[in-house]
Amino acid sequence: MTRRLWSDFVSELEPYVPGEQPRVDNLVKLNTNENPYGPSPRVAEAIKAELGDELRLYPPPNADALKQAIADYHGVDIRQVFVGNGSDEVLAHAFNGLFRHGKPLLFPDITYSFYPVYCGLYEIEERRIPLTDSFEIAVDDYLVPNGGIIFPNPNAPTGRLLSLDRIASLLRRNPDSVVCVDEAYIDFGGDSAIALVNEFDNLLVIQTLSKSRSLAGLRLGFAIGHPELIEALERIKNSFNSYPVSRLAIAGGVAAFADEAYFRQTCDTVIASRVALVEALEKLGFEVIPSAANFALARHPDYSGEYLMAALRERKIIVRHFHAARIEQFLRITVGTPQQITLLLAALEEIIA
Ligand SMILES: *Cc1c(COP(=O)(O)O)cnc(C)c1O
C-alpha cells in the first residue's frame, strides 16, 4: 500500500543495518564496538551545567566552541575543522559533497558497510578493491581512475592498520582525488593522518567521539582537512540541517577533549585488554587478524562463525557476525572489560570443548 506512495528511488535503497541494541539484563554486549567504560565524569557535569532556559535557543550553528577545542587538541586551524552529528553524518556529507564525480569511488572489498549504502543514497558508482590475502590494504591497487578513495584506518571490521607512509604514498599518487581516512578506531593504537593534512590538500580525516571517548550516545564526529574541503562539507550541512549538533553535545564534546588523563587511561586499558583477549583467543585455537582497534576479527578452524555466534548468544553474550564474502567464517568481538572478556572466554571454552 504505502509502497505506491514511495518514489522508485526510496524503494530501491538498501539501508544500513546497525548492530542490535537489545534490552536484556546482564547481557555481555560485544557487538558494536562501544567503549566498555563510561565517558569522562566531566562530560556529564558539563551537560548538566547546560540544562536550563538556554535550551529554548538554537545552538550556535557552527558549534565554534567545539570546533575550537578540536582544533586546539589536534594543532590545526579552526577553518580546518568540521563537526557533525556522529561521524556517520560527516561521512554522508563527504560522500555527497566530495565524491560525486561520475567516476567510481574506491574502497576495500572488506570494509565499513555504510560506504556502499551512501553510494546508493548519493548515486555514486563504487569499485571495491580486494584486500590482500592477509587482509591488508595494498595502496598500489588504488592507482586506477577514480572519483575518490575512502577506507577506515584501522580498517573495520578487520582491525588492520595502514602506516602513515603508505597513506602519504597513496595521497601523492592520487593528487586529484579526495582521499578520506575514516579514523573511528585510531586512538587504540595507530598514528593519525591528521599529521598529513597540512602537506596534502586532498586529504580528509574523519574521527568520532563514539569509540575512544565513550560517547556513542551523544552523537559527535568531526573531519579535519584543507579549509576548501571543509567548506564543501559546510555547504552541504547548511543545505541540509543548520543545527546538527545540540547545545548538550557541544558542551559534552568540549569537556571530553579537556580530560586528557581520563582519555589516555581508558584507551590504555582497552589496548591492554585487547592484547590479553587476542592471546587468549589464540590459545583456544582461533586465528586472529592483527588488530589496532577495540575489536578483534577471529575464526576457529573447526566451528563456523554463525554457529559460534548463536552458541554465545544462548549464553547471553553477543558478538557480530557478517554474512559477507571472505569473512563469513569470522566473528568480530569488541574488547570489553576484563570481566566481560573472562565471561566470553569461559563460554567459548565450553562451546568448543
Ligand atoms: C563506528 C564507526 C563510525 C561511526 O561512528 P559515529 O560517529 O558513531 O557515527 C564510522 N566509521 C567506522 C569505520 C566506524 O566503525
Distance CA 164, CA 142 (A): 16
| Strand 81-84 with 221-225, pairing | antiparallel
Assess whether the C-beta atom of 182 lies below 6 angstroms from ligand 1: yes
Assess whether the C-beta atom of 86 lies below 6 angstroms from ligand 1: yes
The whole-number average pLDDT for the span 98-127 is: 97
What's the mean pLDDT when you consider all of the chain? 96
Q: Which of 17, 34, 87 to mutate to test the pocket of ligand 1 (most atoms within 8 A of CB)?
A: 87
Over residues 264-277, the pLDDT tens digits come to 999 999 999 999 99
Assess whether the C-beta atom of 208 lies below 6 angstroms from ligand 1: yes
Distance CA 238, CA 43 (A): 27
Assess whether pLDDT exceeds 80 at residue 2.
no
Q: pLDDT value at position 22?
A: 85
Biggest CA pair distance of the chain: 60
Over residues 57-80, the pLDDT tens digits come to 999 999 999 999 999 999 999 999
HSE of 72, CA atoms in CB hemisphere, 13 A: 10
Return all residues near 346 (Cβ < 8 A) that are at least 6 apart: none
Rounded to an integer, what is the distance from CA 109 to the centroid of its chain? 16
Over residues 169-201, the pLDDT tens digits come to 999 999 999 999 999 999 999 999 999 999 999
Over residues 280-307, the pLDDT tens digits come to 999 999 999 999 999 999 999 999 999 9
Compute the distance from residue 93 Cα to the ligand 1 centre, in Å. Answer: 14
Instruction: Name 208's bridge partners.
Output: 221
Instruction: Show the domains of the chain with their CATH numbers.
Output: 16-38+261-352 (3.90.1150.10), 41-258 (3.40.640.10)
Compute the distance from residue 140 Cα to the ligand 1 centre, in Å. Answer: 26
Q: Can you read off the three cell numbers belonging to residue 240?
A: 541540509
Contact 340, 36 (CB under 8 A): yes
Assess whether the C-beta atom of 157 lies below 6 angstroms from ligand 1: no
Compute the distance from residue 89 Cα to the ligand 1 centre, in Å. Answer: 9
Q: Which of 31, 111, 117, 211 to mutate to test the pocket of ligand 1 (most atoms within 8 A of CB)?
A: 211
Q: Which of 161, 208, 212 to mutate to test the pocket of ligand 1 (most atoms within 8 A of CB)?
A: 208
Assess whether pLDDT exceeds 60 at residue 100.
yes
Q: pLDDT value at position 20?
A: 80
Closest CA to 328 of 127, 162, 112, 157: 157
Query: Taking the CB of residue 121, how many other CB atoms lie within 10 A of it?
Result: 18
